[in-house]
């Protein structure tokens, strides 16, 4: 197979972890006789410094013409520490999602046997966890009207959802549930929020189209607790933008490290694949960041193109690395292995 991949390293540790994912993809390409072509683009703080725009038109055009997007991370202390900054790296991420129509964020939450002891949650609670969290990505409070009222020194952020936006993401979630254990949990706050009541009403209506799927509902505060106490009760979980952002970061502790968690964002155009961690600027340039979340995101990229065997080969190599402690310091504090060493080992293991 010939794939054209847009590579957006971004900020902080983004360039480092992206290089390791490319090493692994190249190892897969060599072993399975594929051709992966890479073209790099600017996004985030790097793009602001070069063009003044966190998601330049050139990057948008590159993404549109590519078969998939491999993305690192966005964020920079220069902008984080300046509340008056008019242009921010995170605006590039929101613009990318909106312009590419990336309305569905897919985050698998699974456990690795060698890491069961690394999670703060008891091993017997998390062993065998396999959750697919689907987060609506282009609506809600992150995209609603916002502003400040200087007369009374107040601020506002508005959460808005249309029925069409909700139906679109729910159809995606129902279809994913059909591929798995046919159990879908809709997470909302319908006892308080009007948008959540619309989510719940819409899901109840749509359930008639998917009679094989067991549908249940859970308030977000209860879901946050249940994720830690009884994570194996979940199969597919779907929720709105901000709730999904918070819950998926919480669920990452199940895996043993935020650095292990991959994700994909799908929608109207080219799909994007990225680790869920941020740009971790404190580690930038130190060659200590965990590349496994990015490497596992590359596996999701291949799987989306029907290359299931190749994706499983990557996951097998990652598991092998974990089994013999070929890991960075976030997994084992005494480890002296670098980002590039872990990437090299996984790539060689695949070859």
Per-residue pLDDT for the chain (351 aa), expressed as one digit of tens each? 999 999 999 999 999 999 999 999 999 999 999 999 999 999 999 999 999 999 999 999 999 999 999 999 999 988 877 777 778 898 998 899 999 999 999 999 999 999 998 889 999 999 999 999 999 999 999 999 999 998 889 999 999 999 999 999 999 999 999 999 999 999 999 999 999 999 999 999 999 999 999 999 999 999 999 999 999 999 999 999 999 999 998 998 898 888 899 999 999 899 999 998 889 999 999 999 999 999 999 999 999 999 999 999 999 999 999 999 999 998 988 888 999 999 999 999 998
Query: Catalytic: which of 76, 235, 245, 330?
Result: 245
Q: Tell me the C-alpha distance between 257 and 328, whole Å.
A: 11
Task: Please confirm, yes or no, whether 11 is among the known catalytic residues.
Answer: no
Given 255, 287, 306, the domain boundary residue is 255
pTM: 0.90
β-bridge pairing 130-136 and 146-149: unpaired
Residue 69: HSE in the Cβ half-sphere, 13 Å Cα cutoff: 31
Do 69 and 172 lie in one domain? The reply is no
Query: What CA dihedral angle connects 189, 192, 197 and 203, to 10 degrees?
Result: 20
Give the CATH number for residue 308.
3.40.718.10
3-state secondary structure of 186: strand
| Complete edge-to-edge strand list for the sheet that includes strand 35-40 | 35-40, 2-10, 68-73, 272-275, 262-266, 104-110, 130-136, 236-239, 183-188, 214-219
Task: Please confirm, yes or no, whether 249 is among the known catalytic residues.
Answer: yes
Query: Catalytic: which of 221, 232, 268, 325?
Result: 221
Do 319 and 193 lie in one domain? The reply is no
3-state secondary structure of 22: helix
Task: Please confirm, yes or no, whether 189 is among the known catalytic residues.
Answer: yes
Do 124 and 73 lie in one domain? The reply is no
Task: Please confirm, yes or no, whether 157 is among the known catalytic residues.
Answer: no
Structural domain tally of the chain? 2
Do 134 and 249 lie in one domain? The reply is yes
Query: Catalytic: which of 11, 22, 142, 172?
Result: 142
Going by the DSSP 8-state scheme, the letter that residue 11 receives in this structure is S
Query: Catalytic: which of 189, 235, 280, 330?
Result: 189
Considering the domain boundaries, does residue 109 fall inside one? no
Q: Tell me the C-alpha distance between 163 and 240, whole Å.
A: 12
Task: Please confirm, yes or no, whether 221 is among the known catalytic residues.
Answer: yes
Helix orientation angle between 14-32 and 339-350, rounded to the nearest 10 degrees: 10
The DSSP H or E segment spanning 46 is helix 45-51
Give per-residue pLDDT as tens, 201-245: 999 999 999 999 999 999 999 999 999 999 999 999 999 999 999
Nearest in space to 258 (alpha carbons), one of 241, 234, 236, 275: 275
Given 226, 255, 284, the domain boundary residue is 255
Considering the domain boundaries, does residue 111 fall inside one? no
Query: Catalytic: which of 67, 80, 130, 249?
Result: 249
Long-range contacts of 81-86 (CB under 8 A, 24+ apart): none
Residue 158 lies in domain: 119-255
């Amino acid at each position: 197979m010939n794939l054209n991949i847009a590579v957006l390293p971004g900020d902080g540790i983004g360039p480092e972890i992206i290089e390791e994912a490319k090493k692994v993809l190249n190892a897969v390409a060599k072993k399975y006789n594929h051709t992966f072509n890479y073209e790099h683009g600017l996004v985030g703080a790097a793009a602001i410094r070069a063009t003044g725009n966190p998601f330049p038109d050139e990057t948008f055009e590159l993404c549109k013409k590519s078969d998939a997007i491999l993305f690192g991370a966005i964020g920079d202390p220069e902008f984080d520490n300046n509340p008056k900054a008019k242009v921010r790296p995170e605006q590039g991420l929101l613009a990318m999602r909106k312009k590419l129509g990336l309305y569905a964020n897919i985050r698998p939450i699974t456990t690795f046997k060698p890491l069961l002891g690394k999670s703060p949650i008891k091993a017997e609670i998390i062993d065998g966890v396999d959750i697919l969290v689907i987060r609506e990505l282009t609506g809600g409070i992150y995209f609603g009207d916002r502003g400040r009222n200087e007369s009374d020194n107040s601020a506002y952020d508005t959460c808005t959802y249309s029925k069409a936006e909700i139906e679109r993401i729910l159809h995606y979630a129902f279809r994913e549930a059909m591929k798995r254990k046919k159990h879908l949990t809709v997470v909302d706050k319908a006892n308080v929020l009007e948008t959540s009541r619309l989510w719940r009403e819409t899901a109840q209506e749509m359930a008639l189209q998917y009679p094989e799927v067991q549908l249940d509902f859970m308030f977000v505060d209860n879901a946050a607790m249940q994720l830690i106490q009884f994570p194996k009760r979940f199969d597919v979980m779907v929720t709105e933008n901000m709730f999904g952002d918070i819950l998926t970061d919480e669920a990452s502790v199940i895996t043993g490290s935020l650095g292990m968690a991959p994700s994909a964002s799908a929608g109207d155009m080219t799909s994007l694949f990225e680790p869920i961690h941020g740009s971790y600027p404190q580690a930038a340039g130190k060659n200590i960041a965990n590349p496994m979340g990015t490497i596992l995101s590359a596996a999701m990229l291949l799987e989306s193109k029907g290359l299931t065997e190749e994706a499983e080969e990557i996951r097998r190599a990652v598991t092998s690395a974990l089994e013999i402690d070929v890991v960075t310091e976030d997994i084992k504090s005494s480890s002296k292995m670098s980002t590039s060493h872990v990437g090299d080992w996984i790539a060689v293991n695949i070859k």
